[in-house]
Amino acid sequence: MSELALFDNMPEEYKNLLAQLEPDTNASGGKKQGGTNRLSIRGGVFRKVVNGQEVGELESRSINIVIVKTSPISRMYYDAQYTAGASNPPSCWSASSADGKPSGDVPSDTRQSGSCFDCPQNIKGSGQGQSRACRYQQRVAIMLTDSDGKLKSNAVYQLSLPATSIFGDDKKKMGLQTYARLIEAQRAPLASIVTELRFDTDSSTPKLCFKPIRVLAEDEIGMAVAAQQDEGTLKLVTLSIKPKQETSVPQLTDAKVPSPAPETPSLFAGTDDDEEEVEEPKVKVSKKKKDAPKPDVDLASLLDEFDD
C-alpha cells in the first residue's frame, strides 16, 4: 500500500513527531503485547472518577478522546452479585484472553478451570439470560479534548470497555477492534487520531461506538507521545489483582494507587451493564480479516465518509 496520502504534505517536523507514536496492536486484536483518573460508563453516563470517588458527570452522550494505550483483552469471573459501593473482586481471571487460560496468580481454590475455552463459566447461559458468566473487558488509557475539541490537558484516564464495546462488525457503530483495524489499515497510529466516543442509544446496556474525527495537530502529537511514554500510563492499562489480606480473596487494585490502597468498588467489571451476548473473539478476528478495508482507501477519505 502507498504511503498515507493525508500525511504526504505534512512538514518533516510533524512526521518526526508522528513516528514517535507507538502502534497499538492490543486495540486491533494483534498478538504483540499518584492517583488514578478513571472514566466510568456506569448507567450509560460518562463519569469522571478520581481515586475511586466520582467527581463529576459529562452531560454529553458523546465525547472526543485520544486513545494513547490499550491492554490485551482480559476475562473476569465474579461469583458474587455486584453491589454498588461495595468491593467486588473477581474470583477467576485471565490478564490476556489470548492465553486461553487463567492467570498464574489466580488462587487454586477459586480457579474455575485449567482452560478458558473448556470452562463452565464460558458457556452461554452461565450468566444472566444467555450471556456468559465470565466476561471480556479491555482497559484503555485515554486523553480528553476540551469543549472546543482541542487536546490541551495532559491528564490520562483509565476506561474499562465491556465486550459489546470491543467486538462488533457494524461499520457505522464500530467497536474498538473494528475501529482500530480501520485506522491501522491506513498506516496511521491510533494515538494520532481524535476519536469520537459515543453511547449506542439503541443498546439496552452501556455500549460505546468509535468514530474518527481528525488527525492531531503538531502540538497535540507531542502531548500524545509524552503520555504514551509515561510509566503511569502503562500502569493504567496493566491488570493488577491481589488477594485481600484479611480474607485471601483476590481484590482488583488500581495500578497508580499507592499501597496500602483503600478498598474501592470496580466501576464497571461485575456490574449488570454487560449482559448482551457477543461472539468469541477468535470468530470475530477471522471475519474482520475478510472485511478489512481495501488498501486504496486513505485516511482522508475515511474521515470524509464519517463527516455528518
Does a cis peptide bond (omega within 30 degrees of 0) precede residue 260? yes
Residue 16 pLDDT = 75
DSSP letter for 144, please.
Answer: E
DSSP 268: S
Phi, psi of 45 (to 5 degrees): -130, 135
Q: What are the C-alpha distances in Å from 70 to residues 5, 126, 133, 180, 187?
A: 26, 28, 24, 11, 18
The label of the residue with cell 463452565 reads 120
For helices 281-290 and 176-184, the axis angle rounded to 10 degrees is 40
- Closest to 88 measured CA to CA, from 79, 97, 101, 96: 79
Distance CA 74, CA 26 (A): 11
Q: What pLDDT sits at residue 276?
A: 57
Distance, in Å, from the CA atom of 37 to the CA atom of 149, rounded to the nearest integer, reads: 20
Domain ranges for the chain: 5-306
Q: Which residues contact 208 (CB under 8 A, 6 or more apart)?
A: 41, 161, 165, 197, 198, 199, 200
Residue the block writes with cell 493525508: 6
pLDDT for res 32: 46
pLDDT at 82: 62
Non-local CB neighbours of 174 within 8 Å, separated by 6+ positions: 168, 182, 209, 210, 211
Per-residue pLDDT of the chain (308 residues; tens, 9 = 90+): 333 455 556 677 777 777 778 777 777 766 444 568 899 998 889 998 887 888 888 888 899 999 999 999 999 999 877 665 566 779 999 999 999 999 999 999 999 999 999 999 999 989 888 889 999 999 999 999 998 999 999 999 999 999 999 998 888 899 999 999 999 998 899 999 999 999 999 988 889 999 999 999 999 999 999 999 999 999 999 988 765 444 444 444 444 433 333 333 333 333 344 445 565 555 343 444 444 444 444 666 667 666 65
Q: How many helices (H) and strands (E) does the chain have?
A: 7, 12
Reported pTM: 0.70
pLDDT at residue number 296: 41
CA Rg value for the chain: 19
**Per-residue confidence (pLDDT) for residue 35, from 0 to 100:** 64
Tell me how far apart the alpha carbons of residues 205 and 163 are, in angstroms, rounded to a whole number. 11
- The amino acid that residue 158 corresponds to is Q
Instruction: Give the distance between the most distant pair of CA atoms in the chain.
Output: 61
List Cβ neighbours of 108 (8 Å cut-off, separation of 6 or more): none
Q: Is 64 helix (H, G, I), strand (E, B) or coil?
A: strand
